[in-house]
């Protein structure tokens, strides 16, 4: 449900700058991207923080960036990422008109019920995993004979590589790749892996989520969802 909020006011200019960078990265992967904006508690109580959800199609994950607001509000709206970027040039701005949300915007991770999973590699290790996976994809792609250098074959290689897990955790490498490409995996930053799956090993995990959380944003993915990634990897930065 969309709450009729007309404008937003960030806590400071840094919040606006960080959101601008996030939106620009989303638009790099999809010029027609939409984002869902949420602020306030599940009961509709106004709160001084904004969550921005996007879905870069190259990675098949949900990316989340939060921003501190100057005043508490309650908001739930889906807008054009491009129009929002054009308006987020200052601490305060007017919201774009709502748009019809894409299917993913109706299925967001839950707000509560998360618990931390141990074993997540640190940032340098995860960046190395991404670099190694990108290098492997390129080697295997270059080794394909001309008659097999098709989109289907490259998709197959991509699915095989990016569906691997960041051992010893169940987090797929495509989620790590997305976090790295979106600028979330920065040296020295604390990271954590959270899940909504029950702690009991025999409990069903259908519908469970995994979330790679950093101070600069989060990446969420279904624990048992489809593992698909574009065949063109992003060059590690």
Specify the 3-state DSSP secondary structure of 73.
Answer: strand
Residue where a domain terminates, one of 58, 86, 106 = 106
Kindly state whether residues 41 and 81 are assigned to the same domain. Answer: yes
- In this model, does residue 235 exceed pLDDT 60? no
Kindly state whether residues 130 and 203 are assigned to the same domain. Answer: yes
Q: Do 62 and 221 contact (CB within 8 A), yes or no?
A: yes
Domain that holds residue 26: 7-106
> pLDDT-derived band of residue 41, with 50, 70 and 90 as boundaries?
confident
Kindly state whether residues 69 and 145 are assigned to the same domain. Answer: no
Distance in Å from the first CA to the final CA of the chain: 38
Residue where a domain terminates, one of 80, 106, 132 = 106
Kindly state whether residues 87 and 12 are assigned to the same domain. Answer: yes
- In this model, does residue 227 exceed pLDDT 80? no
Quote the tokens at residue 84: 């929002």
Greater model confidence, 60 or 22: 22
Kindly state whether residues 63 and 126 are assigned to the same domain. Answer: no
Kindly state whether residues 95 and 135 are assigned to the same domain. Answer: no
pLDDT, position 67 = 95
Quote the tokens at residue 134: 């990108």
Kindly state whether residues 34 and 67 are assigned to the same domain. Answer: yes
Report d(CA 159, CA 71) in Å as an integer: 44
Whether 31 maps to a domain, the answer reads yes
* Closest alpha carbon to 95 in 24, 38, 45: 38
Whether 232 maps to a domain, the answer reads no
Quote the percentage of the chain above a pLDDT of 70.
89
User: What mean pLDDT is predicted for residues 180-202?
Assistant: 89
Report d(CA 88, CA 37) in Å as an integer: 13
Kindly state whether residues 92 and 147 are assigned to the same domain. Answer: no
Question: For the segment 13-25, what is each residue's pLDDT rounded down to a tens digit?
Answer: 999 999 999 999 9
Whether 236 maps to a domain, the answer reads no
What is the β-pairing status of strands 92-94 and 75-80?
unpaired
Whether 234 maps to a domain, the answer reads no
Q: How many CB atoms lie within 10 A of CB 120?
A: 20
Report d(CA 65, CA 122) in Å as an integer: 20
> pLDDT-derived band of residue 63, with 50, 70 and 90 as boundaries?
very high
Whether 2 maps to a domain, the answer reads no
Element (H, E) at 53: strand 47-54
> pLDDT-derived band of residue 44, with 50, 70 and 90 as boundaries?
confident
Q: How far is CA 43 from CA 1, 46, 47, 105, 109, in A?
A: 12, 9, 11, 19, 16
Cα 187 versus chain centre, distance: 19
Mean of per-residue pLDDT scores for the chain: 88
Strand partners, 77: 37
Q: Do 161 and 174 contact (CB within 8 A), yes or no?
A: no
Kindly state whether residues 119 and 214 are assigned to the same domain. Answer: yes
Residue where a domain terminates, one of 106, 130, 156 = 106
Report d(CA 174, CA 180) in Å as an integer: 10
Kindly state whether residues 188 and 214 are assigned to the same domain. Answer: yes
Domain count, the chain: 2
Whether 42 maps to a domain, the answer reads yes
Question: For the segment 195-220, what is each residue's pLDDT rounded down to a tens digit?
Answer: 998 876 555 555 799 999 999 999 99
- In this model, does residue 37 exceed pLDDT 60? yes
Whether 57 maps to a domain, the answer reads yes
């Amino acid at each position: 449900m969309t709450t009729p909020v007309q404008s937003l006011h960030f806590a400071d200019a840094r919040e606006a700058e960080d959101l601008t960078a996030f939106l620009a990265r989303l638009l790099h992967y999809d010029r027609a991207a939409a984002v869902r904006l949420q602020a306030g508690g599940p009961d509709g109580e106004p709160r001084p923080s904004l969550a921005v959800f996007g879905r870069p199609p190259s990675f098949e994950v949900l990316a989340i960036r939060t921003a501190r607001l100057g005043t508490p509000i309650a908001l739930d709206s889906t807008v054009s990422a491009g129009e929002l970027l054009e308006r987020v040039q200052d601490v305060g701005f007017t919201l774009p008109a709502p748009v019809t949300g894409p299917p993913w915007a109706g299925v967001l991770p839950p707000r509560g019920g998360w618990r931390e999973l141990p074993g997540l590699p640190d940032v340098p290790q995860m960046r190395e995993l991404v670099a190694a996976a990108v290098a492997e994809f390129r080697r295997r792609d270059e080794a394909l004979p001309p008659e097999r250098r098709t989109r289907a074959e490259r998709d197959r290689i991509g699915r095989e590589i990016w569906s691997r897990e960041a051992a010893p955790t169940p987090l797929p490498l495509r989620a790590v790749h997305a976090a790295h490409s979106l600028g979330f995996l920065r040296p020295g930053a604390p990271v954590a892996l959270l899940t909504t799956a029950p702690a009991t090993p025999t409990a069903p995990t259908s519908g469970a989520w995994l979330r790679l959380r950093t101070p600069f944003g989060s990446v969420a993915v279904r624990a048992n969802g489809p593992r698909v990634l574009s065949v063109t990897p992003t060059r590690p930065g």
